[in-house]
Structure 1
């Protein structure tokens, strides 16, 4: 569907949902703090133009956020000196690193429900102060007006950072995580501090009104000591160009597996599923259940054709999504604007292994089509290859959730029909190898196969991981 149609649907969705947004939730007394909602009526009356506040979560109050401001800092200092507990103590600890979460554009004025989920995932992974920036009032409804204000939000955040510095925090101890437009807010904070803050992680940084912007006006590698970005919707709401030291383009950075390609299954799935996938993948990566590794390559097409199989530009250590220092890169200085590609699954934990499939066939009289299926238990990966009369060797990259040594079987099926009439295909060899290879396994190869239409061929592998 055309970009314009998608934009119209988004506007319609905005108007509908804004009618049911309730009055903003405010903190009273010692209740747990929360982000605000902004109503359409308030927006029309211009009661709120720009309001920035901060929520604090730590391992001591993971389930009950505190409001945080200059008074919180003074209160913390007094409590440390006097050890008085007359008021609720601030849990901010200047000796720990601080992670700052910056949400993006809020199309309906509703508070982002995922902020506390991300904060908890971060706190389970490391002992830090988490500050969530609430600028919902300034981030809602009219996107072009929101973009006009994003630098002012960054200025207000920088004032707080200056105050925290005065209380002993170091610039290099700050890690900003910006989602969509929030990534450019974080980038301008970095600009205000001459790129000396520690790290900025951009989760599908916003594209509209930023794709052609100068680096001063958008996120770029000079905004922090290290900038990493995850791209999942670069053809619509995300940006299509590299903006960090390393940029992970998941499934090419555009269409994500499991997201609806049509309006009918789900309004959410069609409008913003791709855009929000970066956030969900990042939260999943924080639990460390599996590594999400990016492979440097000049384009997604070259990656899929098996032309990029190693990480030599990083001296062999492939960057990973998550909290590893510099994404696991050990070379210095860290290269800039490195495009990294990886394939994911459609559901958590999203991580998958990359395999190079090489198929060599005897010369064909007619074109053909072969379906390749990898199976492990109830896990299946399928890929179709179109074979031509002028080519005998085919290379393609596919993904599968388990390691090479855990694959149970491979199946080839001649699916050629009306336009692919080769009745029998002689496969000289089919080889499967995992990359990047940590244990240097030998490829799994099967030779001399005849695949007829209507008679699939399969081969079972008998192996044990660690036996290589």
Structure 2
């Protein structure tokens, strides 16, 4: 009798332990390969829930009964992370880190929308068709959330490539009442030139932002949000290969850079200022640096904290912005507006190289995107972006060249050079009465600028 009782207890404990173990199993994103892409996959949407309790162990969230999962807290904000086209079937390399950064920043529900079955297909047009179906699936879930008390304003949808348009279709189903949509290099093929009803547009959420990094290939070219960021002009990204001989990186590096730029913004350790401007040329020429004209808080920043400027941006309608980055993290550059007044009798054309030093480290930039015109007593201005912040600046080196090696060397006589920092609220640096000989470095100590309009 005792043996029988003990045996039943052992069976009961074993079963209980098995169920407890199953409840703790971690879900992972669907992992497919090229053979699935070649044969094609049918759409199957899985929702993977992460919270601060299970940062590294996803729990499956049921579409039909999401509230049966005790870790899904409707009183917390919810962020949907939606990937795009997966031609090789592998999970995104950035997924785990993206989830961790979001949960480090804020206590929330992070819902990874796994539609790899449906996104893995050599037939891109079939995948595009599936975006509407994914949006319908998410709409059903969010409707259940709203009925049970969730605030739509607390929902943030982050969509990568095709995921951006999925976010837009979902938001449109709620007449733009969803709080925020972030589009990371929204897909261009099959969406360029389409009317707002067939793609993401500013009416799909209370605040829509779009980051463009590959607009000349896989990304969307025109404005899509209340604010559109064009990193390094929106096309070729620094550090990405320029020839097809680099393999798969040639196709995905520019497109994927949007994800890494946005991820860097979540930590906030190296903020990137986005300058409203009509073109990348005007931005590089230093014509769009006056952030005081934009909002009382200055120019907006890229990424997660841009919501601080939401009301102003929504009121303005659609704002185009530009910035430059380094080729790897930390991506933020440190900008100066460079103003030069010369007193040569004749007008000269040429390029400048500037080096800043604090005698321990230095940063250098070559201003070679176009030949600058130096006309007597006429101020020439250009944007100078350095890869690091060298403070305090104790020495500046300057080199002038015309790019015409066979001609006699020119001399550029400077009446004034002025470097105005665009970050950190530092005072402008000046130097007066300098002579630059072509292709020779001139090093000098900057001094505080005089109160003068010369």
User: TM-score normalized by structure 2?
Assistant: 0.85
Superposition map of 1:371-410 within 5 A: 371-376=352-357, 377-384=361-368, 386-388=371-373, 393-402=379-388, 406-410=392-396
Does the 8 A contact of 1:320 with 1:327 survive in 2?
no
Aligned residues: 420
Task: Please tell me whether residue 98 in structure 1 is matched to residue 83 in structure 2.
Answer: no
Superposition map of 1:449-464 within 5 A: 449-461=434-446
User: Could you tell me which residue of structure 2 aligns to residue 415 of structure 1?
Assistant: 401
Superposition map of 1:243-254 within 5 A: 243-254=224-235
Task: Please tell me whether residue 343 in structure 1 is matched to residue 324 in structure 2.
Answer: yes
Distance in 1, Cα, partners of 2:326 & 2:319 = 23
Distance in 2, Cα, partners of 1:419 & 1:305 = 28
How far 1:334 sits from its partner (Å)? Answer: 3.2
Consecutive unaligned residues of structure 1, counting only runs of 5 or more, are 1-26, 77-89, 464-468
Distance in 1, Cα, partners of 2:116 & 2:200 = 21
Distance in 1, Cα, partners of 2:440 & 2:174 = 65
Distance in 1, Cα, partners of 2:51 & 2:408 = 64
Superposition map of 1:51-66 within 5 A: 51-66=44-59
Distance in 2, Cα, partners of 1:462 & 1:63 = 53
User: Could you tell me which residue of structure 2 aligns to residue 107 of structure 1?
Assistant: 87
Consecutive unaligned residues of structure 2, counting only runs of 5 or more, are 1-20, 449-454
Task: Please tell me whether residue 200 in structure 1 is matched to residue 181 in structure 2.
Answer: yes
Superposition map of 1:116-195 within 5 A: 116-140=96-120, 141-195=122-176
Q: Which moved more, 1:422-431 or 1:403-412?
A: 403-412
Relative distance call for 1:35 and 1:372 in structure 2 (3 A) is: same
User: Could you tell me which residue of structure 1 aligns to residue 9 of structure 2?
Assistant: none
Relative distance call for 1:329 and 1:43 in structure 2 (3 A) is: closer
Larger Rg: 2
Relative distance call for 1:394 and 1:167 in structure 2 (3 A) is: same
Relative distance call for 1:298 and 1:114 in structure 2 (3 A) is: same
Relative distance call for 1:360 and 1:74 in structure 2 (3 A) is: closer
How far 1:399 sits from its partner (Å)? Answer: 1.1
Relative distance call for 1:45 and 1:289 in structure 2 (3 A) is: closer
Say what the alpha-carbon RMSD is for the aligned residues. 2.5
Superposition map of 1:160-309 within 5 A: 160-264=141-245, 266-309=246-289
Distance in 2, Cα, partners of 1:45 & 1:259 = 31
How far 1:273 sits from its partner (Å)? Answer: 1.2
Relative distance call for 1:28 and 1:179 in structure 2 (3 A) is: farther
Relative distance call for 1:449 and 1:378 in structure 2 (3 A) is: closer
How far 1:135 sits from its partner (Å)? Answer: 0.6
How far 1:227 sits from its partner (Å)? Answer: 0.6
User: Could you tell me which residue of structure 2 aligns to residue 35 of structure 1?
Assistant: 29
Relative distance call for 1:294 and 1:412 in structure 2 (3 A) is: same
Relative distance call for 1:345 and 1:40 in structure 2 (3 A) is: closer
Task: Please tell me whether residue 427 in structure 1 is matched to residue 414 in structure 2.
Answer: yes
User: Could you tell me which residue of structure 1 aligns to residue 303 of structure 2?
Assistant: 322
